[in-house]
Structure 1
Amino acid sequence: MTKAPRAILLGEKAAHEVDVDDGVIRQGDVAILPESEPVDAAEPAAVPVAKRAFSWGSLFVAGLSGFLALAAGVWVQNTISALMSQNPALGYAALVCAAIAAFALLVMLLRVLRDILRERKVESLRQRGADLLVGGTTDDAKALAGELIGLYKGRAQTAKGRGELEEAMPQLFAPRDVLTVAERSLLAPLDAQAKAQIAIAARRVSLVTAVSPRALVDVLFVLVACARLLRAIASIYAGRPGTLGLFRLARQVLNHLVLTGGMAAGDAVIQQVLGQGLAARLSAKLGEGVINGMLTARIGLAALAVCRPLPFVEATPPTLSDVAGDLASWRGSKAEAE
Structure 2
Amino acid sequence: MREPRAMPIRPTAPAEAPRSPRAFNAAIVEEAPDVFEATPAELADTDIAPAPKRLGRFWRNLALWTGGTLISLGLGLAADRLIRDLFAAYSWLGWVGLAALAVFVLALTVLVFRELIGLARLRTLDKLRDRASSALLADDLAAAQKIEAELQSIYSTRADLARARDNLATDAKSILDGAELIKTAERALMAPLDARARALTASSARRVALVTAVAPRALIDIAFVIFESFRLARNIADLYGARPGLFGFFRLVGAILAHLAVTGGLVLTDGVVEQLVGHGVAAKLSARLGEGVLNGLMTVRVGIAAMKVVRPLPFATQKSPVVSDFLPDLVKLAADPKQR
TM-score (norm 1): 0.84
How many Å separate the matches in 1 of 2:103 and 2:275? 54
Tell me the amino acid that sits aligned with residue 254 of structure 2: R
Tell me the amino acid that sits aligned with residue 81 of structure 1: R
Partner of 2:197: 194
1:217 aligns to 2:202 (yes or no): no
Tell me the amino acid that sits aligned with residue 296 of structure 2: G
Task: Tell me the secondary structure at the aligned position of residue 172 of structure 1.
Answer: coil
TM-superposed deviation, 1:52:
4.3
Tell me the amino acid that sits aligned with residue 39 of structure 1: F
Larger radius of gyration: 1
Q: Spell out the pairing of 1:157-168 with structure 2 (5 A cutoff).
A: 157-168=160-171
How many Å separate the matches in 2 of 1:143 and 1:39? 44
After TM superposition, the structure 1 stretch with the greater mean CA deviation from structure 2, 155-164 or 319-328, is 319-328
TM-superposed deviation, 1:179:
0.9
Aligned residues: CA RMSD: 2.8
After TM superposition, the structure 1 stretch with the greater mean CA deviation from structure 2, 136-145 or 34-43, is 34-43
Partner of 1:169: 172
Partner of 1:12: none
What do the CA deviations read for 1:64-93 (whole angstroms, capped 9, x no partner)? 111111111111110110111111122111
Q: Spell out the pairing of 1:42-57 with structure 2 (5 A cutoff).
A: 46-52=48-54, 54-57=57-60
Structure 2 unaligned spans of 5+: 1-8, 30-45
Tell me the amino acid that sits aligned with residue 185 of structure 1: A
Task: Tell me the secondary structure at the aligned position of residue 303 of structure 1.
Answer: helix
Structure 1 unaligned spans of 5+: 1-14, 19-24, 26-33
TM-superposed deviation, 1:106:
0.9
How many Å separate the matches in 2 of 1:105 and 1:74? 17
Tell me the amino acid that sits aligned with residue 85 of structure 1: A
How many Å separate the matches in 2 of 1:35 and 1:49? 37
Task: Tell me the secondary structure at the aligned position of residue 326 of structure 2.
Answer: helix
TM-superposed deviation, 1:51:
2.3
- The answer to whether the Cα contact below 8 Å between 2:201 and 2:232 also exists between their aligned partners in 1 is yes
How many Å separate the matches in 1 of 2:220 and 2:115? 31
TM-superposed deviation, 1:239:
4.1
- How many residues align? The count is 310
Partner of 1:70: 73
TM-superposed deviation, 1:214:
0.8
- The answer to whether the Cα contact below 8 Å between 1:115 and 1:242 also exists between their aligned partners in 2 is yes
Partner of 1:284: 287
How many Å separate the matches in 2 of 1:45 and 1:216? 49
TM-superposed deviation, 1:140:
1.5
TM-superposed deviation, 1:55:
2.6
TM-superposed deviation, 1:310:
0.3
How many Å separate the matches in 1 of 2:242 and 2:145? 23
TM-superposed deviation, 1:35:
8.7
Partner of 1:22: none
How many Å separate the matches in 1 of 2:143 and 2:58? 37
Partner of 1:247: 250
How many Å separate the matches in 2 of 1:46 and 1:195? 36
- The answer to whether the Cα contact below 8 Å between 1:226 and 1:296 also exists between their aligned partners in 2 is yes
What do the CA deviations read for 1:290-313 (whole angstroms, capped 9, x no partner)? 111000001000000111100012
Partner of 1:130: 133
Report which structure shows greater RCO (CA 8 Å, sep ≥6).
2
Partner of 2:24: 39
From 314, 318, 336, the counterpart of 2:317: 314
How many Å separate the matches in 2 of 1:45 and 1:122? 27
From 287, 304, 308, the counterpart of 1:305: 308
From 247, 257, 260, the counterpart of 1:257: 260
Partner of 1:268: 271
Partner of 2:115: 112
Partner of 1:154: 157
After TM superposition, the structure 1 stretch with the greater mean CA deviation from structure 2, 97-106 or 184-193, is 97-106
How many Å separate the matches in 1 of 2:198 and 2:245? 22
1:236 aligns to 2:221 (yes or no): no
TM-superposed deviation, 1:321:
2.3
From 185, 204, 207, the counterpart of 2:207: 204
1:294 aligns to 2:297 (yes or no): yes
TM-superposed deviation, 1:265:
2.5
Partner of 2:43: none
Counterparts in 2 of 1:320 and 1:84: CA distance versus 1, 3 Å? same
Task: Tell me the secondary structure at the aligned position of residue 317 of structure 2.
Answer: coil
Partner of 1:21: none
Identity of aligned residues (%): 38
Counterparts in 2 of 1:277 and 1:132: CA distance versus 1, 3 Å? same
Tell me the amino acid that sits aligned with residue 51 of structure 2: V
TM-score (norm 2): 0.83
